[in-house]
Amino acid sequence: MRRILNTLTFITLSIGLILFLLLLSKQLVIPDFPQKTDKTVIITNALVTVVPQKMERAKIKRVVDGDTVELQNGKKVRYLEIDTPELHHPTKPVQCFAKEAMEENKKLVEGKEVYLLKGITNTDRYQRLLRYIYLPNPKDASHEALFVNRYLVEEGFAYSYKYPPDIKYNLLFLQLEKKARENHKGLWQQCPK
């Protein structure tokens, strides 16, 4: 038993030493991105590695609401597989947490270069492009990016929204929505049921 404990202690210390040496030699990079415009660090699981060659690159001209943006070229993009409370609906009043969702989306992407990833469907009935949105880390060449659709659900700014045939992240987004609801994040804390 003592020999096993000694071996486990040695392995643990060895791993710690290796990580420390990698950190010192800058081979292990701990990203400090993404950041909000107010310079507070976002702690999230929505950081992913992307392959920019498989994506479109675009600049966001303005944020329309929590799940829609307008590109520099004038085209509108609707985020795939999420839905935020209504802000500009022609027949509905402004819904609870709609302004907060729009403001968060604005902090994340307005005026910035993003990657757009097409799902199966190219446009919706309003001729908006349907895309997954990724905010690249401008300080890092590792191809790390914030998966904006995921982040908005994870933090309680959006609901998971099933939009067949685009259901690639449906189960993940449903799990993230459930977790946000259980942790009373965002709209799940502020809005009555």
> Of 12-21, 44-53, 87-96, 164-173, which gets the smallest average pLDDT?
12-21
Confidence of residue 39 (pLDDT cuts 50, 70, 90): very low
Q: Burial of 119 by CB count in 10 Å (0-12 exposed, 13-18 middle, 19+ buried)?
A: middle
Share of residues in the chain with pLDDT > 90 (%): 64
The answer, yes or no, to whether residue 121 has pLDDT greater than 90, is: yes
* Chain length of the chain: 193
Confidence of residue 137 (pLDDT cuts 50, 70, 90): confident
Residue 7: per-residue pLDDT: 63
The topology under which CATH files domain 32-190 is: OB fold (Dihydrolipoamide Acetyltransferase, E2P) (2.40.50)
Residue in this structure with the two tokens 């459930």, named with its chain if needed? 178
Q: Torsion angle, CA of 84/136/49/187, rounded to 10 degrees?
A: -20
Residue 116: per-residue pLDDT: 98
**13 or 160: whose pLDDT is higher?**
160
Residue 36: per-residue pLDDT: 40
Q: What is the mean pLDDT of the segment spanning 108-120?
A: 96
C-alpha gyration radius of the chain: 20
